[in-house]
Structure 1
């Protein structure tokens, strides 16, 4: 038995799948370590009687030339009999490489017709020509979101991993309709989790799906957000604020979920990034203003207005105004990671630091704090500026 509720367990699985996100190694090393470290983290953290039944799968794009980077995508399916119901969690990791950032996180200037993608999700997505985009009448997602979703849906588990040779659609097709399937992720994973769930529900007509997303950037436009709301209505079975399904749980002091909406009336929007750090020194504000300005310029090219999916907002109580670039890096990380552990009332033994310690024990190189921050949505622009 676990001392954590199902929501906490699901959240922790989204960090188990991120065990390698802050490390650098060739693909073969990352895959081997994923198979070793992830079950160990589930046990060390006391997440519960979860067994990885598909994957884990670590994927790097062939255009990722640097062998010593983090993975582009990592995902697994874990199974448990929680509360007497057979439950599968599809855990999807966030950003971890330059390719991942530029193509998945920041692939926002081109869009994909979402329903067309659903109809042919086994084929790589194609972008809608800018002069053909109909923002008011068609659901669109960012090309980066669609491309990563295609990878997650179609790449099979490798030799040596659980259910090798099957992709997640093939594996989940064997699951009983009475089982619960949760698509879950943090950060970029929280943009991909609802998108993948939408594809599965529409393409396969599966009605046993729910979503658990935290700190996710916006996947697409208002039409997509509306379709998501209808397909995955808000469910709150418990009294605690984290005890809910189908909403993006966000810290108002976290820069990542502020991407990519530019609508002034929205509770999550790019302009908030500068507002969060408005009391910081002018040089730090200038960095943030520059990032936001470039993001807005790219968003104009998309021909859509990005609109957040349904969300739950909390405000962390550990925000400190940074005065140096190093302090800014640290605070961005605290608000994007640690604040969510605190919000869910998880013990100090369960943390990102524990992941880094285990990675070091396995002989892996852990990225510096600045490298980790530059892997995040929005802040990844710093990689381009500082190269």
Structure 2
């Protein structure tokens, strides 16, 4: 039996996706390489873990104990930012948004089509749930990724088949940094679209930025309830586990009346004056965010 508790195991698994972040090869070779590297690491975490499939991101199937009952648990672990292209296309595309509820309205049928891109306008109380276009398009690619060969199911279809063949399966979406935002976004649309059942889906994001607007936060909390109040420590599902010395969770909120972790604070978090290049980058993000983004519940470690 592993000396690690379930939160520690899930976090350890989440880091496995970064094991080939610097490798360059075909998708098939990268999947093979990732499986080869991850398998022995998983056995060190706990013998019950095994690789179920691997994409550019990786999904892993372990068994863990919860409330004195064994559940078949599938963890979708999504890697963090790996290159400048990802920074531009996913992290920084916050000046366009998508509407996840309408996108997921017909389940996998609608999720197979890329979400409609909307310009990010000044937020209003009537706005529907929104997430950044960068995160939304990345979630679409992940859900519709061909797992191994073209005749095999897309990733979203495969997840659905796992739930249908094993109805008590627990699904945990996790990842660090960018992976945290994608874990939240992907879990949200799959659950909102009834691809996966509410109550059996959890998220365990670490050091993630804010994926969407206030309406998204409210809807997210309804789908994935978290502990109430000011949280500390890492033993919380459906909560962004953050380190106060990490700048990523400061993105992309600008409302200092809601949180102390706002974009403008990131420039001097290690002392004043701000580094000019960092100040320029943050100013660009503040301008692009237009006051839209708010963080999901978080816990400080």
TM class by shorter-chain length? 0.7 to 0.9
Return the alpha-carbon distance in structure 1 between the equivalents of residues 42 and 141 of structure 2. 25
Contact residue 15 and residue 186 of structure 1 kept, 8 A? yes
Match runs of 1:124-273 below 5 Å = 124-129=114-119, 136-159=126-149, 165-174=152-161, 175=163, 176-204=166-194, 206-207=197-198, 208-235=200-227, 241-265=233-257, 266-273=259-266
Equivalent residue for 1:78, pick from 61, 85, 105: 61
* Cα gap change, 1:185 to 1:131, in 2 (>3 Å): closer
TM-score, with structure 1 as normaliser = 0.68
Match of 1:276 among 269, 279, 282: 269
Are 2:4 and 1:12 aligned? no
- Output the CA distance in 1 between the equivalents of 2:154 and 2:144: 5
- Alignment gaps of 5+ in structure 1: 59-73, 315-387
Task: Say which SS state the counterpart of residue 88 (structure 2) adopts.
Answer: helix
Question: What TM-score do the two structures reach when normalised by structure 2?
Answer: 0.87
Alignment correspondent of 1:37: 37
1:339-354 maps to which residues of 2 (within 5 A)?
A: none
Distance 2:125 2:19 in 1: 37
Instruction: Report how far residue 48 of structure 1 moved.
Output: 4.2
Offset of residue 124 of structure 1: 0.8
For the aligned residues, what is the CA RMSD? 2.4
**Corresponding residue SS for 2:55:** strand
For residues 211 and 94 of structure 1, the distance between their equivalents in structure 2, rounded to whole angstroms, comes to: 15
Deviation at 1:46, TM superposition (A): 2.7
Taking structure 1 as reference, are residues 244 and 131 closer, same or farther at Cα in structure 2, changes over 3 Å only?
closer
Q: Distance in 2 between matches of 1:115 and 1:36?
A: 37
Distance 1:187 1:129, change over 3 A: closer
> Is residue 233–residue 300 contact of structure 2 (8 Å, CA) maintained in 1?
no
How many residues are aligned here?
285
Aligned to 2:296: 309
Structure 2 unaligned blocks of 5 or more: none
Residue of structure 2 in register with 1:295 after alignment: 285
**1:255-276 alpha-carbon deviations (Å, 9 max, x no partner):** 0111111111213211221231
Instruction: Work out which of the residue numbers 115, 118, 128 in structure 1 matches 2:104.
Output: 118
CA distance, structure 2, for counterparts of residue 130 and residue 269 of structure 1: 18
Deviates further, 264-273 or 108-117: 264-273
Please, which of 40, 54, 57 is the counterpart of residue 56 of structure 1?
54
Distance in 1, matches of 2:297 and 2:126, equals 18
Q: CA deviation at 1:189?
A: 0.8
- 1:130: Cα distance to partner? 5.0
In the aligned structure 2, how far is the partner of 1:137 from the partner of 1:247? 23
